[in-house]
A and B are shown apart, each in its own frame.
Chain A
């Protein structure tokens, strides 16, 4: 039931998966958070993950860049399996960008320094090169004039766009978003979503945890619904919203669409 409909897309595009998750199980202490998760993400695919609070969405995507450690099953990112090897973890992390709900910008560094920190120290770029690329990306997210400011001086929407630019500066192959808009005011949500849509159009592989169903409808190749640590249902957005198969999904959709 879980991975049945996923295969459709991959056969169509005939692209190899960039992330493969196999029988993933995770516990917090004795609490079973993720149960037998199977998931394949193809290159350039955009996946939206939704589900009720506490269903394990954040935990799932945080496992992908090993901010959380899983106990059973395997996660393979770009051909390398996630293990305890520190060097490998750092390599995978620099290939997987992540955007957090609360931005997590570094308050003691300017916007530009936030963006160039990792390119300089991890990618070993020269400062000039890093600056140039950061400015380019800041222009893309429409805040080049804020480069010299500190994060504390920016609005929430601007901060989140800086966070996106910071992740992009590492030229990641996959981008993970954990509820990037849920700490924002409606107007700011729009500007962040626009940035994300542009990013999607540029062909980035994206996994997005969000409750913005409009966004899911517009850019997602696949919508995944999670509950109680399991993947309940996944489908392309049209079928997902119009013909949900499971009772649980229907209930969830009726709740969020009626609000």
Chain B
């Protein structure tokens, strides 16, 4: 018999210095070949060409002080953020709240409550997320209406026609999202139903709304909706837009939910059938909770699309964030500073949408890895 040799582990050595560290990284990612180096130079030049002048204009030379256009008119080399500062309340909360500063706490509180609920919802480890979400979708709208619309507890009424700015954008999107969710779920179930008539009706509804651009739907809502109801029933423009948006959004939500339903293994349905559950029990307790969880990323993606699309109401004359910035920058006081207006509105839209899309991408990756390990 051989004597046992003992396996001697060689010590780990650090890699050759030429392959790690910042220099190696730079060489690999920026200068690995002639083309790569040329690309780096080209893009560096492009950045050099546009970025420093932009920052000069937007920050270093920009005007922040003062309360009228004289300062901006004196210094044309920089952006006129004074305009945004002066019109800030109007851009965010609309004309009613801008002209009644004592009431401005109402939208501020309403939006803060929303953010306070949203933060724990986005954080991964929060317990009882489901209840928070249900609170957000059911109780919160009531709080919002009481606070922003008023009429109860001695809070003066601010009519929806007077809503404007970011507040209106938020309200339109939120209403669309909240109301479209239940309709969308029912439509998604309908589209996967075994009853041919139900299926046909759901498909027709979904494809009809998905086939038309929102702007025609908004036109329809503003000119035809009054015709659909007996005379005497009147909606103001904002409510009409909300109805149009909800009908439109429910079709997209339905498709997002359907994607989730399709991903659920057929075995789940069969197993619950084997336990003697009926159609609604099966769906409410077993299928939908799983399907909705899977479809959250796609549902969030439809939110993003809707949030951007709410800006179309400015075409039918509502003063949402976009239209408000445009109107403000065309007023005599600030005529000529429309770039600042667009950039401000664009930045707010961008921040909301980018936030949502990062969240949905994170969730998607998480669902992906979970799916693999489970």
Partner-B contacts on A (CB < 8 A): 1, 25, 27, 29-30, 32, 35-36, 71-72, 227-228, 230, 232-233, 243, 245-250
Give the residue of B1, B6, B7, B10 whose beta carbon is less than 8 angstroms from that of A35: B10
Give the residue of A35, A72, A245 whose beta carbon is less than 8 angstroms from that of B5: A245
Segment touching A, from B15-23, B112-120, B133-141, B269-277: B15-23
Q: CA separation between A228 and B16, bound complex, in Å? A: 19
- List 25 A–B pairs whose Cβ atoms lie within 8 Å, in order of A's numbering: A25-B13, A27-B15, A27-B16, A27-B19, A29-B20, A30-B14, A30-B20, A32-B12, A32-B13, A32-B15, A35-B12, A35-B13, A36-B10, A71-B15, A72-B16, A228-B9, A230-B9, A232-B7, A243-B2, A245-B4, A246-B5, A246-B6, A247-B6, A248-B7, A250-B4
| A74: min CB distance to chain B, Å | 14
Q: CA separation between A30 and B13, bound complex, in Å? A: 9
Give the residue of B1, B7, B20 whose beta carbon is less than 8 angstroms from that of A243: B1
Closest 10 CB pairs of A and B: A27-B15, A248-B7, A32-B12, A246-B5, A35-B10, A245-B5, A246-B7, A232-B7, A243-B2, A245-B2
Q: CA separation between A35 and B8, bound complex, in Å? A: 12
List, in ascending order, chain A residues with CB within 8 A of B5's CB: 1, 233, 245-247
Closest to A25 in B: B13
Q: CA separation between A54 and B115, bound complex, in Å? A: 46
| A34: min CB distance to chain B, Å | 10
In the complex, are the beta carbons of B9 and A247 less than 8 A apart? Answer: no
Q: CA separation between A188 and B7, bound complex, in Å? A: 36
- Sample of 8 further A-B pairs with CB below 8 A, known A27-B19, A243-B2, A249-B7: A27-B20, A30-B14, A30-B20, A35-B10, A230-B10, A246-B5, A246-B6, A246-B7
Secondary structure of the B side of the interface? loop
Q: CA separation between A26 and B233, bound complex, in Å? A: 78
| B32: min CB distance to chain A, Å | 10
Q: CA separation between A19 and B7, bound complex, in Å? A: 26
List, in ascending order, chain B residues with CB within 8 A of A1's CB: 5
Interface hits, B1-45 → A, CB 8 Å: 1-2, 4-7, 9-10, 12-16, 19-20
Give the residue of A71, A227, A230, A247 whose beta carbon is less than 8 angstroms from that of B4: A247
Q: CA separation between A36 and B1, bound complex, in Å? A: 29
List, in ascending order, chain A residues with CB within 8 A of B12's CB: 32, 35
| B194: min CB distance to chain A, Å | 30
List, in ascending order, chain B residues with CB within 8 A of A36's CB: 10
Q: CA separation between A249 and B13, bound complex, in Å? A: 24
List, in ascending order, chain A residues with CB within 8 A of B2's CB: 243, 245
Q: CA separation between A36 and B9, bound complex, in Å? A: 11
Q: CA separation between A243 and B5, bound complex, in Å? A: 11
Q: CA separation between A246 and B6, bound complex, in Å? A: 6
Closest to B7 in A: A248
Could you say which of A27, A227, A243, A249 has the most chain B C-beta atoms within 10 Å of its C-beta?
Answer: A27
Give the residue of B7, B13, B14, B16 whose beta carbon is less than 8 angstroms from that of A247: B7
Could you say which of B4, B15, B20 has the most chain A C-beta atoms within 10 Å of its C-beta?
Answer: B15
Closest to A27 in B: B15
In the complex, are the beta carbons of B7 and A227 less than 8 A apart? Answer: yes
List, in ascending order, chain A residues with CB within 8 A of B15's CB: 27, 29-30, 32, 71
Q: CA separation between A27 and B20, bound complex, in Å? A: 10
Q: CA separation between A29 and B13, bound complex, in Å? A: 12
List, in ascending order, chain A residues with CB within 8 A of B7's CB: 227, 232, 246-249
| A38: min CB distance to chain B, Å | 12
Q: CA separation between A13 and B9, bound complex, in Å? A: 32
| B254: min CB distance to chain A, Å | 31
In the complex, are the beta carbons of A246 and B4 less than 8 A apart? Answer: yes
In the complex, are the beta carbons of B6 and A71 less than 8 A apart? Answer: no
Closest to A31 in B: B12
Q: CA separation between A232 and B5, bound complex, in Å? A: 10
| B27: min CB distance to chain A, Å | 13
List, in ascending order, chain B residues with CB within 8 A of A246's CB: 4-7
Q: CA separation between A73 and B12, bound complex, in Å? A: 16
Closest to A26 in B: B15
| A111: min CB distance to chain B, Å | 29
Q: CA separation between A230 and B13, bound complex, in Å? A: 13
